[in-house]
Amino acid sequence: MRKALWIILGVLILDQALKIWVKTSFTLGEDLVIADWFILHFTENPGMAFGVEFGGTWGKLLLSLFRIATVVFIFIWLKRLTQKGIPQGGIIAVALILAGALGNIIDSAFYGLIFQASDAYTVAEMFPEDGGYAPFLFGKVVDMFYFPIIKGYLPEWLGGDYFIFFRPVFNLADAAISTGVGLLILNQKAVFKEEPKEEISAEN
């Protein structure tokens, strides 16, 4: 369990340090081009993955509460897995998923309280005098990684439209979740193995 906790802590520190730096250094929509295929693009996600929203205010609240419940479930699951002594690959996978989920929950829960709203002209201030931009659980998740690795036009028989791969903008917490899910698939036999059933002999 100690190794899992170190993984979670390490991901959280890196994730939050990067998000806070971007939030307090970039205007909304600003780019930092590191390479043609590697761009830091500051955007904020108010809802689910890829910016999906549902249900307005109540939908956002339910989503935040669902995320918290999910994290509690994953933590209990991780603790049980470590007690079973499963291979390290499975422990690392679940720890990464938990760390990523926690990283994004921190944004949703607290960023609205501690940051000024970002826009295309103003860099947000941390702990502004007039308060944050949203109440508890209504903050936006900071995203920044943009990898337009392949650009071009589809063949005419597919419409000939311009396309970019990979288009979604994501953060380190999202990457940790995706990596964790990949590792979980590779280690699924060890993680989801059934406990041997004890044979109970009936007394005559």
Domain assignment of residue 43, yes or no:
yes
Q: Which pair of tokens denotes residue 157? A: 């028989």
Task: Go through 64-88 and write b for each residue having 16 or more CB atoms within 10 A of its CB, e for each that does not.
Answer: beebbeebeebbeebeebbeeebee
Catalytically annotated residue among 31, 130, 143, 161: 143
Domain assignment of residue 155, yes or no:
yes
**Does the structure show a pLDDT above 60 at 199?**
no
pLDDT score for 56: 63
In the block, residue with structure tokens 């904020």: 44
Nearest to 118 by CA among 147, 144, 146: 144
Q: Predicted confidence band at 91 (pLDDT cuts at 50, 70, 90)?
A: very high
Structurally, the chain folds into a number of domains equal to: 1
**Does the structure show a pLDDT above 50 at 82?**
yes
Domain assignment of residue 111, yes or no:
yes
In the block, residue with structure tokens 């603790």: 79
More confident residue, 141 or 200: 141
Give yes or no: 174 in active site.
yes
Domain assignment of residue 14, yes or no:
yes
- Across all residues in the chain, what is the average pLDDT? 88
pLDDT score for 60: 76
Q: Say what the pTM is.
A: 0.86
How far apart, in whole angstroms, are the C-alpha atoms of residue 98 and residue 49? 16
Domain assignment of residue 174, yes or no:
yes
Q: Which whole number is the average pLDDT over 83-87?
A: 85
pLDDT score for 104: 93
pLDDT score for 125: 96
How far are the Cα atoms of 5, 47, 124, 136, 151 from residue 61, in angstroms, in the given order? 28, 10, 24, 9, 37
Catalytically annotated residue among 15, 36, 107, 174: 174
What are the residues whose beta carbons fall under 8 Å from the beta carbon of 182, sequence distance 6 or more?
93
Domain assignment of residue 102, yes or no:
yes
Domain assignment of residue 201, yes or no:
no
Q: Which whole number is the average pLDDT over 37-62?
A: 75
Give the domain extent around 115.
2-24+32-48+57-191
Residues forming beta bridges with residue 39, ordered by sequence position: 33, 146
pLDDT score for 200: 45
